[in-house]
Amino acid sequence: MTEGSAISATVTERIVAEFTRVAMRELSPGLHIVATPIGNLGDITLRALSVLAAADIIYCEDTRHSRTLISHFSLGSKLAAYHEHNAERERPRIVERLDAGERIALISDAGTPLISDPGYKLVRDVIAAGHAVYALPGACAAVAAMTVAGLPTDSFMFAGFLPAKSGQRQSRLKELIAVPATLVFYEAPTRIAEAIADMANVLGDRQCAITRELTKLHEEVMRGSLQELASALAGTTLRGEIAIVVAPPIAMAASDEDITSALAVALEAASTRDAVRLVAERLGAAKTRVYDLAMTLKREGPLQREDN
């Protein structure tokens, strides 16, 4: 037996021993929020397997989708649907089951429940009814995307899915311009080109990472500025699950030259007041500083429209 196989055998023994230890614990009544893999079934945790096997019922978004996971590990547990279309009807029934002392698991189609799904309302009602809620952490597409993006992770905001229509999408992005944190979005593959173009237009030329099919066979990460990625994706459609990570505003890194350059473009289409507001928000700079630079540009030439 080689050293490598001996180590492998030892690791296997430890895994089996740990799973046995976890599985021997009696599962407490209450709602168990269980994270599941976002693509690679090997990312399931030992504790998640134990809870899913012992639960009286597993609620999921799509029973057909989740049955793949349940069948793969021969868990044999009963599945029931809980999603945005039946949530109002099912929540009272779930609380009744908890009243009867049942042990209930909640999973999503992939990743951590409650992240961009309606599960929080169930947790709210379960807590209000006096029942315990347990977290079983694991895979999360938003967190996985940040780990490979190469962008700041000390402060981030998960912004979920943007609106499908461009006008509403740009309005939402404008609300996020000044957020002093890395932004994380989910997006449908059919809208990715339009979404990145709107981000480039509203958020400015920040650095970005588009992650696709993380943990799966065709995993891909596209990195670059929003303008570069918008050009690369123009007229194209990607496939698979997508998460987008966008760098925070450049804020203090904005030089006078950066601001003056942005003003020169903004003043061609907007009044001085609107141009100052837009550039200050986009670059995270003080409005007074931007205004002073705008006045300098105004003295040098008629770049701006008449203020109304």
pLDDT digits (tens, 9 = 90+) for 204-242: 889 999 999 999 999 999 999 999 999 999 988 889 999
Tell me the pLDDT of the chain averaged across its residues. 90
Tell how far CA 226 is from the center of its chain: 18
Segment 283-308 mean pLDDT: 72
Percent of the chain at pLDDT exceeding 70:
93
Strand order in the sheet with 103-106: 79-81, 57-60, 103-106, 30-34, 133-136
Higher pLDDT, 51 or 118: 51
pLDDT, residue 96, reads: 98
- Confidence (pLDDT) at 4: 52
* 108 strand-pairing partners: none
Greater confidence, 302 or 282?
282
Q: Structure pTM?
A: 0.77
Amino acid 253 reads A
| Nearest of 147, 114, 128, 129 to residue 34 by alpha carbon | 114
The pLDDT of residue 2 is 52
As a whole number, mean pLDDT of residues 159-182 equals 94
Share of the chain above pLDDT 90, in %: 68
CA 156, CA 151: separation in Å to the nearest integer?
10
Looking at residue 199, what is its pLDDT?
96
Q: What is the mean pLDDT of residues 74-86?
A: 91
Give me the mean pLDDT over the 41-46 stretch: 94
Given a contact cutoff of 8 angstroms between Cβ atoms, the answer to whether 250 and 283 are in contact is yes
| Residue 232 CA: distances (Å) to CA of 37, 156, 272 | 30, 26, 33
- Tell me: pLDDT of 163 over 50: yes
Q: Provide the pLDDT confidence category of residue 306 given band limits of 50, 70 and 90.
A: very low
